[in-house]
Amino acid sequence: MGEVDRRAVGTGEVGPITKKLQDLFFDIIRGRNPKYGRWVRGVKPADEGAAVGAGARAKA
């Protein structure tokens, strides 16, 4: 975060607590932290053509 209500906050760089939280978050969502394994569900990426077709149908 660099500012709040147009006022500068800190140096604008990520601090040590934010960095730890960010690292933990990304480890959890990428399945690298078994403690939170029940929080995530693996998904298989859709075929690019299928995604385009689905979007086209939704707009029709």
Pick the closest to residue 11 from 19, 24, 1 (CA basis). 1
pLDDT tens, per residue, the chain with 60 residues: 677 888 888 887 888 999 999 999 999 988 899 998 888 887 888 876 665 555 555 555
Report field, pTM of the whole predicted structure over 0.85: no
What is the token pair recorded at 58?
């939704």
Residue 49 falls inside a structural domain:
no
- What was the pLDDT predicted at 40? 84
Range list of H helices, the chain = 16-29, 48-59
Residue 51 falls inside a structural domain:
no
Question: Domain residues for 37?
Answer: 1-41
Our CA angle for 15, 3, 10, nearest 5°, is 35
Calpha distance 55→33 (Å, rounded): 34
Residue 53 falls inside a structural domain:
no
**Cβ-contact 12, 19 below 8 angstroms:** no
